[in-house]
């Protein structure tokens, strides 16, 4: 593999990974399996221990993690966290070397990505926004969909890294475009989960064999990746978080704000955004987004 710009070694680029949560941990481990040298930083010691056990290196600070890295990858919950780790004297931009490539895989506002790219350019650091879809299972299985915004040359350089993390990898346009596409993705997923949840309650109250019904529905036009991935959650009422309601609430705020800014009406999306917000207000923010089923059950008079 040819090295990244600025590196003198014709080897795989060294990677700093910041943010080792539900998605970040398995993704960083997949890079290690693919032969990359990964140094990670996060606030939880047990997650640093997990990275070390997988063959990575644990850093004591962001500065330590990024100082000698060819590529810095971030995966944190939202725009405020991206800004916290990127800016300031202890942040990425002040401590990464000139010529490094910063790949932010968090799901944040498009404007945050645009602003980050501008600030990084002043430091000689290149940026891609590269949010993902596929949830925890997709991260573990390295089959994520990765939607990227930025320069074509930087995308081409990062493509081998993306190939170790996902299966559908597309450059969507300039900086911020990846985040815009991710916002649309989250709109589709939320509406799909809500529709599935309503169908589940309707089917059960009608006395239909739910497992059989979901199988046949998933084999036709009503089938979807959402139904495939979340069918067992619905059947077993298992809402262990793969993607938390709290995060989907954040994402629905991003898509509704972004749509308002460009003059796009989202009538169904606006309703589902309120349903997500309602579920969160009822104390279910830490559950998987398939827990939208609980909200439909409450509205239908079910005893939870």
Q: What are phi and psi of 129, to 5 degrees?
A: -95, 130
Residue given tokens 């891609």 in the structure block:
128
CA distance 296 to 79: 30
Is-catalytic flag, 182? Answer: yes
- Note whether 125 and 96 are within 8 A (CB): yes
Q: Tally DSSP H helices, then E strands, for the chain.
A: 14, 9
Among residues 47, 182, 231, 250, the one annotated as catalytic is 182
- C-alpha dist (Å) from residue 193 to 18, 28, 80, 269: 30, 28, 27, 12
Q: Catalytic site residues?
A: 182
């Amino acid at each position: 593999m040819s090295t990244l710009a600025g590196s003198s070694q014709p080897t795989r680029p060294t990677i700093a990974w910041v943010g080792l949560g539900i998605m970040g941990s398995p993704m960083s481990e997949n890079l290690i399996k693919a032969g990359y040298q990964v140094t990670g930083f996060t606030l939880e010691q047990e997650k640093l221990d997990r990275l070390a056990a997988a063959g990575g290196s644990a850093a004591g600070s962001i500065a330590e993690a990024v100082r000698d890295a060819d590529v810095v990858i971030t995966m944190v919950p939202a725009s405020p966290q991206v800004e916290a780790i990127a800016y300031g004297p202890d942040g990425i931009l002040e401590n990464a070397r000139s010529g490094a490539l910063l790949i932010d895989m968090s799901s944040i506002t498009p404007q945050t990505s645009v602003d980050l790219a501008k600030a990084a350019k002043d430091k000689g650091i290149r940026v891609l926004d590269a949010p993902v879809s596929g949830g925890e299972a997709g991260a573990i299985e390295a089959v994520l969909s990765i939607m990227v915004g930025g320069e074509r040359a930087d995308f081409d350089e990062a493509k081998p890294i993306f190939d170790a993390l996902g299966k559908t990898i597309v450059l969507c346009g300039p900086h911020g475009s990846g985040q815009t596409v991710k916002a649309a993705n989250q709109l589709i997923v939320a509406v799909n989960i809500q529709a599935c949840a309503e169908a589940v309650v309707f089917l059960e109250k009608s006395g239909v064999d739910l497992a059989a019904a979901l199988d046949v529905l998933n084999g036709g036009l009503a089938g979807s990746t959402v139904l495939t991935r979340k069918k067992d959650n619905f059947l077993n009422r298992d809402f262990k978080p793969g993607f938390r309601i709290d995060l989907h609430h954040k994402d629905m705020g991003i898509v509704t704000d972004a749509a308002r800014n460009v003059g796009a009406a989202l009538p169904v999306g606006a309703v589902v955004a309120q349903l997500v917000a309602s579920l969160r207000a009822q104390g279910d923010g830490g559950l998987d987004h398939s827990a939208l089923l609980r909200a439909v059950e409450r509205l239908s008079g079910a005893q939870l």
